[in-house]
Amino acid sequence: MSGRNFLFVPGPTNVPDRILRAMHRAQEDHRSSAFPALAKGILADLPKIFGTAKGQAFVLPASGTAMWEASIVNALSPGDRVLAVRNGQFSHLFIDAAQRLGMQVEIIEEPWGGAVQPDRIRDALKADKAGAFKAVLVVHNETATGVTSDIAAVRAAIDGAGHGALLMVDGVSSVASLEFKLDEWGVDFAIAGSQKGFMMPAGLGILCVSPKGLATFAGSKSNRAFFDLRDHVTHNATGYFPYTPALSGLYGLRESLDMLLAEGMPNVAARHKRLGEGVRRAVAAWGLKNCCTDPCRVSDTVTAIVVPESGDAEKVRDVGFRKYNLALGAGLGPLKGKVFRIGHLGDLNELMLLGALAGTEMTLIDTGIQITRGAGVAAAQAWYQGSAK
Ligand SMILES: *Cc1c(COP(=O)(O)O)cnc(C)c1O
């Protein structure tokens, strides 16, 4: 098929040519005296993306999922009690990881499509007079449902309960796209990966840890080897890694950081907000439902769209892919077949999204879902034109 594949899954996202070029290079000795300049620069700049002046960043040859594990095994011990909110597939898998690693997880269930309710966290922590909960686990941006939870409010709930639990936040589809303030929100472990907001191929797990989080490493009784962040603390201090780093990924990350910091994180967030709003207006113009049930918590990086009862979201995805070379995100877990997702994060502009919306319209009509051709595109066009600087 000629032309580009229209990649609108919420990750991997489109990799800018600048990053592709930066990664396309010969390998080199990661123990040379020249290497620390690259590593130190990256580790110094990464915390800026997480909104922290005090936190420490880690980069592993891994993925977002691995950073759940790295957070849990370095901070917690088997048998520890943790409090977690489940409101979609990624929070479900975060919980699953904690359970497999031996944690006792108390789960606050929310509807899939709803946001984290800070009051419920506060109540659960208030009831925990003995301070048994060692950590609170939440997903900032639930990629399965397109819901962004309020992490500042989660911090306020923890403080309101007077509880000392760590705050572990999955920011895989928010960090580097949405506003993220590790210091201000009192986040102790912020989890990310390279293939979403960082606009890179998958392959790097990225983590940022607060001073309070760093202080937990020594006390954890969990077994760890590859994920032992103490080795990273030691080696990173000299500009090296404890084992072979994913060198091409580091060059890509250097370029990604340059791009993000040149645009400025508030501008990155504002761009995502504006682009995301166009998609939401298109969905409304189609007469379809956003999976996110709280209009104040819609995600600016991904929109999950509910197909009518008679429709099949998997068919929408397949027809879009085969007929128009358009990749839309799948419904995950119990949402399979019920929703499809449009990822709108990373290296993206208005016309790319209008192309994706046009392809989605044709696909919806092809699969028998009644919408007016052009309605969504027109609504997004009007928004993008009217809100252009
Ligand atoms: C993509 C994603 C993950 C999983 O990351 P991998 O890099 O695929 O391991 C975890 N959490 C959220 C919120 C995600 O969007």
Q: What are the tens digits of pLDDT across the range 258-298?
A: 999 999 999 999 999 999 999 999 999 999 999 999 999 99
Query: What tokens does 279 get?
Result: 């998609």
| pLDDT tens by residue, 93-141 | 999 999 999 999 999 999 999 999 999 999 999 999 999 999 999 999 9
Residue with tokens 């031996």: 102
> What rounded mean pLDDT belongs to the chain?
98
| pLDDT tens by residue, 173-217 | 999 999 999 999 999 999 999 999 999 999 999 999 999 999 999
**Which pLDDT value is given to residue 34?**
97
Residue 42: is its pLDDT beyond 80? yes
What separation, in Å, do the N-terminal and C-terminal C-alpha atoms of the chain show?
A: 35
Rounded to the nearest angstrom, the distance between the alpha carbon of 64 and the centre of ligand 1 is: 5
**Which pLDDT value is given to residue 385?**
98
Q: DSSP alpha helices (H): ranges in the chain?
A: 17-23, 35-49, 64-75, 89-100, 118-127, 151-160, 182-185, 211-214, 229-236, 247-263, 265-286, 313-324, 350-366, 375-387
Q: Which CATH class is domain 17-262?
A: alpha beta
Any atom of ligand 1 within 6 Å of the Cβ of 139: yes
Question: Is 316 strand, coil or helix?
Answer: helix
Give residue 256's pLDDT band: very low, low, confident or very high (50, 70, 90): very high
**Which pLDDT value is given to residue 125?**
98
Cβ(163)–Cβ(188) under 8 Å? no
Pairwise CA distance, residues 90 & 232, whole Å: 26
Rounded to the nearest angstrom, the distance between the alpha carbon of 11 and the centre of ligand 1 is: 8
**Which pLDDT value is given to residue 2?**
87
**Which pLDDT value is given to residue 389?**
79
What's the Cα-to-Cα distance from 149 to each of 141, 178, 179, 294, rounded to whole Å? 6, 11, 12, 10
Residue 1: is its pLDDT beyond 80? no
| pLDDT tens by residue, 329-366 | 999 999 999 999 999 999 999 999 999 999 999 999 99
Pairwise CA distance, residues 35 & 155, whole Å: 38
Pairwise CA distance, residues 283 & 343, whole Å: 13
The type of residue at 358 is A
Query: What tokens does 286 get?
Result: 């189609």
**Backbone dihedral region for residue 42 (phi beyond 0: left; psi -120 to 50: alpha; all else: beta):** alpha
Any atom of ligand 1 within 6 Å of the Cβ of 249: no
Angle at 189 between CA 188 and CA 191, to 5 degrees: 155
Residue with tokens 């201000």: 184
Any atom of ligand 1 within 6 Å of the Cβ of 193: yes
Pairwise CA distance, residues 303 & 298, whole Å: 8
Rounded to the nearest angstrom, the distance between the alpha carbon of 85 and the centre of ligand 1 is: 16
The type of residue at 243 is Y
What predicted TM-score, i.e. pTM, was given to this entire model? 0.98
Residue 222: is its pLDDT beyond 90? yes
Question: Is 107 strand, coil or helix?
Answer: strand
- Ligand 1, pocket-test mutation among 90, 199, 301, 302, most atoms within 8 A of CB: 90
Any atom of ligand 1 within 6 Å of the Cβ of 90: yes
| pLDDT tens by residue, 232-253 | 999 999 999 999 999 999 999 9
The H-or-E segment that residue 106 falls in is strand 104-109
Rounded to the nearest angstrom, the distance between the alpha carbon of 373 and the centre of ligand 1 is: 33
Query: What tokens does 323 get?
Result: 């007929």
**Which pLDDT value is given to residue 182?**
98
Any atom of ligand 1 within 6 Å of the Cβ of 11: yes
Any atom of ligand 1 within 6 Å of the Cβ of 177: no
**Which pLDDT value is given to residue 210?**
98
- β-bridge mates for residue 328, sequence order: 8
Rounded to the nearest angstrom, the distance between the alpha carbon of 199 and the centre of ligand 1 is: 14
**Which pLDDT value is given to residue 381?**
98
Q: Which atom of ligand 1 is nearest to the CA of 144?
A: 15
- Ligand 1, pocket-test mutation among 65, 94, 207, most atoms within 8 A of CB: 65
Cβ(187)–Cβ(73) under 8 Å? no
Rounded to the nearest angstrom, the distance between the alpha carbon of 162 and the centre of ligand 1 is: 31
Pairwise CA distance, residues 42 & 62, whole Å: 17
319 CB-side CA count, 13 A: 18
Pairwise CA distance, residues 159 & 294, whole Å: 25
Which CATH number does 6-12+265-387 carry? Answer: 3.90.1150.10
Q: Which atom of ligand 1 is nearest to the CA of 139?
A: 13
Q: Which atom of ligand 1 is nearest to the CA of 140?
A: 13
Q: Which atom of ligand 1 is nearest to the CA of 205?
A: 7
